[in-house]
Chains A and B, each alone.
Chain A
Amino acid sequence: GQNIDQPTEMTATEGAIVQINCTYQTSGFNGLFWYQQHAGEAPTFLSYNVLDGLEEKGRFSSFLSRSKGYSYLLLKELQMKDSASYLCAGLDSNYQLIWGAGTKLIIKP
């Protein structure tokens, strides 16, 4: 079956760094997405990885290892506004998105 696993909740301190991990099992693979979703709002796109390695975009970076079925989202210089859920989603061979349950990130001052 297809599955996306990520931690349910994480807590970090303002100004620090946090890494949110995601492991995936999909039927075929056409890339991995990370989305941010603030409470009561729609998800917004953060990153897309289809090749191995690290993609950096400002304070946010995303990493992919296809051989390990693993990705992580790295958030640096955390700000209070980064408190949100972070959704990992894999794109399978039929270009269907398989969604993780999301990781709720709590930022403390």
Chain B
Amino acid sequence: SAVISQKPSRDICQRGTSLTIQCQVDSQVTMMFWYRQQPGQSLTLIATANQGSEATYESGFVIDKFPISRPNLTFSTLTVSNMSPEDSSIYLCSVRTSSDAGELFFGEGSRLTVL
């Protein structure tokens, strides 16, 4: 298993600003992912955070809007840039500890409200 700490747990942000979410895992993990969950909806994968290289983004998500860092195997950040009210959502860090078919573990999530 893996214990994942995310911060901030929640924040209220002004339109046009940027916020960085941090994700810390208690062990080295191969795969780290960033998801978004908008109110009442399921999970949407934003990107896979790759250690030492650029993240792999899903369709509809771009690096300028959601820059991601992953300096080592236990830590990653997601920045939500130039925020608008449509970015109000829960952002979840998740990890897979072993094989490709292994279960995902999730952080507690970061609930962002953009005014």
Q: Which residue of B lies closest to A91 (CB)?
A: B101
A95–B108 touching, CB < 8 Å: no
Q: Which residue of A lies closest to B93 (CB)?
A: A42
Q: Does B64 contact A (CB under 8 A)?
A: no
B106–A95 touching, CB < 8 Å: no
B100–A42 touching, CB < 8 Å: no
* Residues from chain B with Cβ under 8 Å of A7 in the complex: none
**Number of contact residues on B: which range applies?**
10 to 19
Bound state CA distance, A33 and B100, in angstroms? 13
A43–B43 touching, CB < 8 Å: yes
Q: Does A12 contact B (CB under 8 A)?
A: no
**Number of contact residues on A: which range applies?**
20 to 34
Q: Does B103 contact A (CB under 8 A)?
A: yes
Contact of B109 among A33, A42, A101 (CB under 8 A): A42
B45–A45 touching, CB < 8 Å: no
B43–A99 touching, CB < 8 Å: yes
Q: Which residue of B lies closest to A43 (CB)?
A: B106
Interface string of A93-104 (1 = CB under 8 A from B): 001110111100
Bound state CA distance, A33 and B44, in angstroms? 16
B107–A101 touching, CB < 8 Å: no
Q: Does A87 contact B (CB under 8 A)?
A: yes
Q: Does B53 contact A (CB under 8 A)?
A: no
Contact of B105 among A41, A45, A97, A100 (CB under 8 A): A45
CB interface residues, A 75-109, toward B, < 8 Å: 87, 89, 91, 95-97, 99-102
* Residues from chain B with Cβ under 8 Å of A101 in the complex: 41-42
Q: Which residue of B lies closest to A31 (CB)?
A: B101
10 contacts between A and B (CB under 8 A): A30-B100, A31-B101, A43-B43, A43-B106, A45-B103, A45-B105, A48-B101, A91-B101, A100-B42, A101-B42
A-B pairs with the 10 shortest C-beta distances? A95-B100, A42-B106, A101-B42, A45-B103, A99-B42, A99-B43, A102-B42, A42-B109, A43-B106, A42-B108
